[in-house]
Amino acid sequence: MSRLLLWLSGVDRQLLAKCTRLPESEVLRFEGYGGLVLFPPTVGFIAMGYGVYTFVPNVPAAIATGTVWAAFVLWIERFLSMTMHKSTLRSVYHFWVGFAVRLLLAGVIGYGLSHPVTLLLFQGPIDQEMADQGRTRRREAYEVGEKIKTQAQESLNQARASALGQLPAELDRKQKLRDCTSVLVSMEQAGEAPGTFARDTDGNTCGVASGEEGCKAKCQSYLREREKLDGEIADIKKEMNKRRDTVDGDGIEKASEYARRLVEQIERESQPTDYSARTRALAAVESKHPEIKAVHIFLAIFLILLDTLVVTLKAITPEGEYEEARDTALVEARALGRAQRASATSWGVSNNTLTQSRLNHENQRVEIEALLQLVNEVVHGQTIQLQQFDAKFAALDDNVGKVLSSEDRDVFTARLFELRRVYHDAWGKTTERLRAYIRGL
């Protein structure tokens, strides 16, 4: 278990073994760091597993995805713990800049983990809110259908009223007149006193009783008038029915059918239960219940603090023996590196000088060989010329020996030897100058 916790903390076990003054204290400190590293991956496994399960209700898939996410969070947390060290070899500015970057990264991960956990904790209120939203949607669909039917009925009534024209008003007038005539017939049959007024349903005077006993002439005229009004009223009603039939009433049926289908479609639709739907439901629950929003905020802050706890503790904990051993090893490594670089640089310079010397020597050797080749060619040419000159001189000497006059022969011989001496002197000087030139190179 100790090895696992030390591995999670990212400590260098070779450096930890060099802590001989407080070995137990340093081991316990880094075991604590390793234990803190385990918390964010555990929360990440739960959060990601639940989030995936809301999309794909498959337990193995949720476990596999949660495991991968937990491994990813563990890698980040271990990296943050591994690279967070106090050191006297760098400035305080660089330390706190690195701390701020690590803190920001850890905070983002903590906030990302808090949201799925909140959805899991408030699953009951969220499910209730989603059910309420479903009922509200069905009710709204029913109200929309009823509104469509009402509008269709109003349109039909307007069309029928336009088709009937003045017939309803005429029918009402005839009905009132017929009622008034019936009142007059009753008054005549009852023998009402003369001058008694008959009034219609609106209170308007529509006739006066004659005061005759029994149903006499006046009464009979009222009866005939009532029968006539009954005929006219029947004709008006017949005409109104005829005109109503000319107006198409299919709109009501179509509107009712559309409303029925709309309600059925809403009822057949399955309520979405994925992550986004639950997020919207959580927002609605928080707007209705501020205490749930407060718990959500508290949970987010708690998980952020939990995720940043390792980095924060490393920042506020004083340096220990491990940090001193790490700085010592780092100084030694840097000194060794500088020495190796200096040695490599010196070797490179020496090797470069030696190579350049070898190249110069090779160039000089080639030049000398070319020069010697040239000298050999010149000497060879001069030797050939000297041999030719000696051959001609010998021929001349033979010819001079054939001269009969001894005096002439002596003159010619003296001149030949003088010419030979001059030629050999010139050859010697030329050779000496060539040697002097070669020595000057």
281 found inside a domain = no
Residue 382 has pLDDT above 80, yes or no: no
The tokens of 364 are what? 């000089």
Q: Is 354 exposed, middle or buried (0-12, 13-18, 19+ CB in 10 A)?
A: exposed
Say if 427 falls within a structural domain.
yes
- Does 150 lie in the same domain as 63? no
Q: What is residue 296's predicted lDDT score, i.e. its pLDDT?
A: 82
Q: Which residues contact 194 (CB under 8 A, 6 or more apart)?
A: 208, 209, 210, 211
d(CA 114, CA 63) in angstroms, rounded, equals: 18
Residue 126 falls inside a structural domain: no
Whether residue 315 is found in the same domain as residue 333 = no
Q: Which H or E run includes 121?
A: helix 92-121
The answer to whether position 313 is within a domain reads yes
Q: Does residue 277 lie within any of the structural domains?
A: no
Chain segment 150-186, per-residue pLDDT in tens:
777 777 677 777 777 788 888 888 888 888 888 777 7
Q: Average pLDDT for residues 199-205, to the nearest whole number?
A: 68
Contact 299, 121 (CB under 8 A): yes
Same domain, 162 and 263: yes
H-type alpha helices, 10-86: 13-17, 23-55, 59-83
Q: Is residue 164 part of a domain?
A: yes
Residue 272 backbone phi and psi in degrees, to 5:
-65, 135
B/e letters for 260-278, b = 16+ CB within 10 Å, e = fewer, are eeebeebeeeeeeeebeeb
User: Which letter does DSSP use for residue 21 in this model?
Assistant: S
What's the structural domain count of the chain? 3
pTM of the model: 0.49
pLDDT in tens, 111-135: 777 778 888 888 888 888 888 888 8
Rounded to whole angstroms, how far apart are CA atoms 424 and 427?
5
What pLDDT is recorded for position 64?
A: 92
- Residue 324 tokens read as 């001193």
Assess whether 148 and 228 both reside in one domain.
Answer: yes
| Residue numbers of the domain that contains 16 | 2-121+289-319
Mean model confidence pLDDT for the chain: 77
Straight-line distance from the first to the last Cα atom of the chain, in angstroms, rounded to the nearest whole number: 82
136 within a domain of the structure (yes/no): no
The gap from C-alpha 112 to its chain's centroid, in whole angstroms, comes to: 14
- Cα-Cα-Cα-Cα torsion 91, 92, 95, 96, nearest 10 degrees, comes to -150
Residues 241 and 293 in one domain: no
Domain shared by 337 and 406, yes or no:
yes
Say how far apart CA 304 and CA 397 lie, in whole Å.
124
Long-range contacts made by residues 85-88, C-beta under 8 angstroms, separation at least 24?
85/314, 85/323, 85/326, 86/314, 86/315, 86/318, 86/319, 86/323, 87/323, 87/326, 87/327, 87/330, 88/319, 88/327
Residue 131 lies inside a defined structural domain of this protein: no
The reply to whether 333 and 433 lie within a common domain is yes
Retrieve residue 25's tokens.
């204290």
CB atoms within 10 A of CB 58: 12
Q: Do residue 147 and residue 98 come from a single domain?
A: no
